[in-house]
Amino acid sequence: MNGEFRDINSSTDRNHADEIDLSLLDYLQTLSVEERFERHEQALALVRALRAAGQEYYGYDPRHPYEQARISY
């Protein structure tokens, strides 16, 4: 184990990559509702920042390339 999480680079862990890491689930169960909500909010902020960066880089939302193509004609 590497800190709280498994080292996914080891061959043993790669062989079991499709299995659920129960230690992570156990850890998440120790968090309060407020702590889990805060983690969710942090993850959501990251997703939104990455999405905005993608839109800035590509000039449109890459999830909807056909909408951009219709607008630019």
Q: What is the DSSP letter of 66?
A: H
Our count of domains for the chain comes to 2
How far is Cα 14 from Cα 30, in angstroms, rounded to an integer? 27
State which H helix or E strand residue 27 sits in. Answer: helix 22-30
Q: What is the structure's pLDDT at 1?
A: 45
Which candidate, 32, 19, 26, places its Cα nearest to that of 4?
Answer: 26
71 & 43 share domain? yes
16 & 40 share domain? no
User: Which residues constitute the domain of residue 25?
Assistant: 1-30
22 & 12 share domain? yes
48 & 69 share domain? yes
36 & 18 share domain? no
CA dihedral over 3, 5, 23, 42, signed as positive or negative: positive
Q: What is the structure's pLDDT at 49?
A: 96
Q: Is the pTM of this model over 0.75?
A: no
Tens-of-pLDDT digits for all 73 residues of the chain?
445 666 656 656 556 667 788 998 899 899 999 999 999 999 999 999 999 998 888 888 877 767 665 555 4
20 & 38 share domain? no
